[in-house]
């Protein structure tokens, strides 16, 4: 089963606090035929040195040191030198379960697919549980709809791609996108594939309380870039069914509400132009929750947002502060 080389690409920027935990989890994978590509994107802390130390210990590690150009350019640099038949990704402040790579690879082999996904991400909000694992095959169109509805995690973590597939369609990360770059990459791929293998095992820890993360460190420009990312998904659509159009509009609404939520939680003034814009779009776009297949909980949330988006923000403020102030795992 381990005759295929698999590349794993990690873009790295100023994460010395968490990096070693991530690298240890990669080096200790139960699938051993790996090419580990660490792309130091101009870090000003000790991240680059940590990469070099690990490369001296493990011959499978390749390190690229480059000028800071953003996460998309960093991942593209990794793709440029990847020699594996399959490729997957990890973020440097997260960590992997020991079977992260073998699980994703087995999904591909057992279902004869070019892309595999696990929905099994756990984080500070949802701790790891002993839930039942299952797998199934879904069409590319349905996978596109599911990711636009956030039923599949939008990042490129917890996914594996055939390098032949990526080369066939010249798939790259859009370097103009700094927030939502994985969202774009995934939707581009899913629309061009016949089927995707999907599993449910929890194999990836996503760190929510890293202060450098977009989700815990408000940056208005990054959120504007996130809105641009949704626009780019729509502009580059291959499948233009009504279901996908509604799903894109839902994703756009969801992004505006997330930006509003994040901005207020992180202390952005309620009367700022950005917050006013997000509040307006969150109220206007809430109708799309009733045009797509999402949970009743999401529909109730949309109803509340149409009345006043700030109700939910205030309701969840204490919970968020508690999580952000927890000791790191």
What tens-digit pLDDT sequence spans the chain (329 residues)?
558 999 999 999 999 999 999 999 999 999 999 999 999 999 999 999 999 999 999 999 999 999 999 999 999 999 999 999 999 999 999 999 999 999 999 999 999 999 999 998 988 766 677 667 889 999 999 999 999 999 999 999 999 999 999 999 999 999 999 999 999 999 999 999 999 999 999 999 998 765 445 455 678 899 999 999 999 999 999 999 999 999 999 999 999 999 988 887 776 666 689 888 999 999 999 999 999 999 999 999 899 888 887 776 666 655 544 544 544 44
Q: What is the pLDDT of residue 327?
A: 44
Q: What is the pLDDT of residue 295?
A: 94
Q: What is the pLDDT of residue 261?
A: 84
Tokens (6 digits) for 255: 């992004």
Tokens (6 digits) for 187: 């939707």
Burial call 52-91: b when 16+ CB within 10 Å, e when fewer? eebbeeeebbbbbeeeeebbbbbbbbbbeebebbbbbbbb
Tell me if 133 sits within 8 A of 201, measured CB to CB.
yes
Choose among 51, 44, 42, 43: nearest CA to 19: 51
Torsions phi, psi of 52, nearest 5? -65, -40
Q: How far is CA 121 from the centre of its chain?
A: 10
Domains of the chain: 6-206 (3.90.550.10), 240-322 (no CATH)
Q: What is the C-alpha separation between 6 and 82, in angstroms, rounded?
A: 9
Q: What is the pLDDT of residue 309?
A: 77
Q: What is the pLDDT of residue 133?
A: 85
CB atoms within 10 A of CB 303: 12
Tell me if 8 sits within 8 A of 87, measured CB to CB.
yes
DSSP string computed for 127-164: ----PPP-EEEEEHHHHHHHHHTTSS-SSSBTEEEEHH
Q: What is the pLDDT of residue 321?
A: 47
Sign of CA dihedral 133, 139, 142, 146: positive
Q: What is the C-alpha separation between 87 and 197, in angstroms, rounded?
A: 15
- Kindly report whether the global pTM for this prediction surpasses the value 0.85: yes
Tokens (6 digits) for 28: 């200790």
Q: How far is CA 52 from the centre of its chain?
A: 26
pLDDT digits (tens, 9 = 90+) for 234-276: 999 999 999 999 999 999 999 999 998 888 777 666 668 988 8
CB atoms within 10 A of CB 139: 13
Residue identified by tokens 């997000």 is 278
Three-state secondary structure call for residue 201: strand
Q: What is the C-alpha separation between 215 and 132, in angstroms, rounded?
A: 29
């Amino acid at each position: 089963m381990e005759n295929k080389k698999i590349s794993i690409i990690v873009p790295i920027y100023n994460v010395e606090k968490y990096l070693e935990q991530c690298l240890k989890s990669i080096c200790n994978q139960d699938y051993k035929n790996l090419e580990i590509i660490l792309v130091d994107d101009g870090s000003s802390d000790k991240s680059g040195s940590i990469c070099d130390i690990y490369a001296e210990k493990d011959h499978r590690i390749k390190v690229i040191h480059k000028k800071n150009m953003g996460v998309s350019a960093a991942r593209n640099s990794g793709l440029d030198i990847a020699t594996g038949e399959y490729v997957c990704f990890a973020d440097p402040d997260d960590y992997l379960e020991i079977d992260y790579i073998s699980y994703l690879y087995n999904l591909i082999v057992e279902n004869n697919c070019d892309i595999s996904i696990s929905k099994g991400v756990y984080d500070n909000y949802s701790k790891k549980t002993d839930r039942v694992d299952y797998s199934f095959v879904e069409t590319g169109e349905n996978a596109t709809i599911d990711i636009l509805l956030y039923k599949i995690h939008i990042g490129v973590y917890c996914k594996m791609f055939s390098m032949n597939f990526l080369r066939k369609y010249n798939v790259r990360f859009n370097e103009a996108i700094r927030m939502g770059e994985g969202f774009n990459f995934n939707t581009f791929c899913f629309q061009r594939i016949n089927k995707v293998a999907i599993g449910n095992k929890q194999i990836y820890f996503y760190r929510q309380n890293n202060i450098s993360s977009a989700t815990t460190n408000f940056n208005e420009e990054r959120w504007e870039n996130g809105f641009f990312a949704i626009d780019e998904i729509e502009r580059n659509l291959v499948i233009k069914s009504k279901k996908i159009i509604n799903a894109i509009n839902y994703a756009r609404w969801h992004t505006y509400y997330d930006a509003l939520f994040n901005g207020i939680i992180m202390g952005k003034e309620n009367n700022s132009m950005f917050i006013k814009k997000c509040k307006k779009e969150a109220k206007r776009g809430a109708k799309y929750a009733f045009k797509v297949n999402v949970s009743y909980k999401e529909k109730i949330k949309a109803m509340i947002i149409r009345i006043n988006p700030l109700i939910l923000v205030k309701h969840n403020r204490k919970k968020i502060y508690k999580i952000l102030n927890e000791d790191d795992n």
